Amino acid sequence: MGWYIGKRVLQMVPVFIGATLLVYAMVFLVPGDPIQAMFGERAVNPNVAAQIRQQYHLDQPFINQYLIWLGGIFQGDFGTSFSGRPVIDEIAQVYPTTVRLALMALVLEAVLGVVLGAVAGLRRGRWFDSTALVLSLLLIAVPTFVMGFLLQAVVGVKLKWLPVTVGADVSLRSLLMPAFVLASVSIAYVLRLTRTSVAENAQADFVRTARAKGLGAGQVVRRHILRNSLIPVVTFLGVDLGALMGGAIVTEGIFNIPGVGNKLFQAIIRGQGPTVVSLVTILVLVFMLTSLIVDLLYAALDPRIRLV
């Protein structure tokens, strides 16, 4: 196991460096003058421009810029944004909201997906199963932003059950609708994954044995079918947490949530390079770490994996 962990962690190093280099190049290695962008339509004094360039190391060759930035990251320094604030402050301001939103989405998809999927899998081929499958198709096919507008128009504007947008009020109640929208596609995947897995396990020999020895139906489902079926589901949920945080850009925009996605979108549009690279880097890190944890959990559960 120790050998497997070491190998898996070592593999992350080139991926992290490659991914950050790629993002850095997409932000800083493109035509266009970030200094001019900072000043908008106004004229920039060449002297001032040179000073700012030096301050942000923009006068150095690209690879030096990247190495200086990477060195900072390893010391916990995420650089200074074009507005003069440390990027880490901007991150700290928006991160809690997105983490809360993503966790709510994760809980929703785990509960709804597993419950609906398990019932569908146990009643394969009946009306509940068919309805759940059609529902999952719809959840996958309706794009996030369409789902968002649909719920805003019906639940928010018409029925007035939940607030239409979030704004400064990031309470659980106002985040409920955006969390569902963010989770909608994943709910469908969890539902299908659970359904297939439960239906497969329900026919396994060990379930037949459990029934034959006289175990009650509830016990068989809970202790034998569900426990064995949830391993792939837990894997999916783990990896999805990272994806949810990265995917929050559209949801946060529609519902006006002051989170990472919104901040990142504004930074991209306004050409605030340092903010963009550091926010994306954190998202990449979260994604890589959740994948790592899931892989290690999986290896702990299934000895065949660490032997390969």
Partner 1 sequence: MDESGLGQIDALDESVPPASLWREAGRKLVRRPSFIVAAVMILIVVAVTCFPGLFASGDPNSGCFLASRFGGPSAGHPLGFDQQGCDIYTRIIHGARPSVLVGALTMLTVLLLGGTVGALAGWRGGWLDAILSRLGDIFYAIPTVLAALVFLNSQKDRSGVVMVVLVIAAFAWPQMARITRGAVLAVKNADFVTAARALGVSNRRILVSHVLPNAAAPMIVTATVSLGTYIVLEATLSFLGLGLPLTMHSWGSQISAAQGLIRTHPEQLLWPSAALALTVLAFIMLGDAVRDALDPKARR
Nearer to partner 1, 232 or 253 (CB): 253
The binder of partner 1 chosen from 132, 249, 257, 299 (CB under 8 A): 249
Nearer to partner 1, 49 or 204 (CB): 204
Residues 6+ apart with CB under 8 A from 190: 109, 110, 112, 113, 114, 117, 233, 236, 237
Separation between Cα atoms, residue 142 and residue 171, nearest integer Å:
26
Nearer to partner 1, 85 or 208 (CB): 208
Residues 115-134 that bind partner 1 (CB under 8 A): 125
End-to-end CA distance of the chain: 11
* Residue 131, CA distances (Å) to 116, 119, 161, 238 in order: 10, 11, 26, 27
Nearer to partner 1, 45 or 131 (CB): 131
DSSP string, 141-210: HS-HHHHHHHHIIIIIIIS-SS-S--TT---HHHHHHHHHHHHHHHHHHHHHHHHHHHHHHTTSHHHHHH
Q: Can you state the angle between helices 273-301 and 2-28, rounded to 10 degrees?
A: 160
Residues 5-44 that bind partner 1 (CB under 8 A): 11, 14-16, 18-19, 22-23, 26-27, 30-32
Of 42-50, 62-70, 72-80, 239-247, the window that binds partner 1 (rule: CB under 8 A) is 239-247
Q: Which of 7, 187, 27, 15 is nearest to 114 (CA)?
A: 187
Instruction: Give the nearest distance from C-beta 4 to partner 1 in angstroms.
Output: 16
- The site map against partner 1 for 171-210 (x = CB under 8 A) is --------------------------------x-x--x--
Residues 6+ apart with CB under 8 A from 38: 52, 82, 271
Instruction: Give the nearest distance from C-beta 71 to partner 1 in angstroms.
Output: 20
The first and second tokens of residue 79, run together, are 């650089």
257 close to 170: Cβ distance less than 8 angstroms: yes
Of 110-118, 166-174, 226-234, 245-253, the window that binds partner 1 (rule: CB under 8 A) is 245-253
Nearer to partner 1, 107 or 153 (CB): 153
Instruction: Give the nearest distance from C-beta 45 to partner 1 in angstroms.
Output: 25
- The site map against partner 1 for 266-305 (x = CB under 8 A) is --xx-x----x---x--xx--xx-----------------
251 close to 178: Cβ distance less than 8 angstroms: yes
Nearer to partner 1, 48 or 161 (CB): 161
Please return the burial class of 99, using the count of CB atoms within 10 Å of its CB with bins 0-12, 13-18 and 19+: middle
Q: Which amino acid is at 210?
A: A
Site size with partner 1, rule: CB under 8 A: 49
**Residues making contact with partner 1 (CB under 8 A):** 11, 14-16, 18-19, 22-23, 26-27, 30-32, 125, 137-138, 140-146, 149-150, 152-153, 157, 203, 205, 208, 243, 246-247, 249-250, 253-254, 264-265, 268-269, 271, 276, 280, 283-284, 287-288
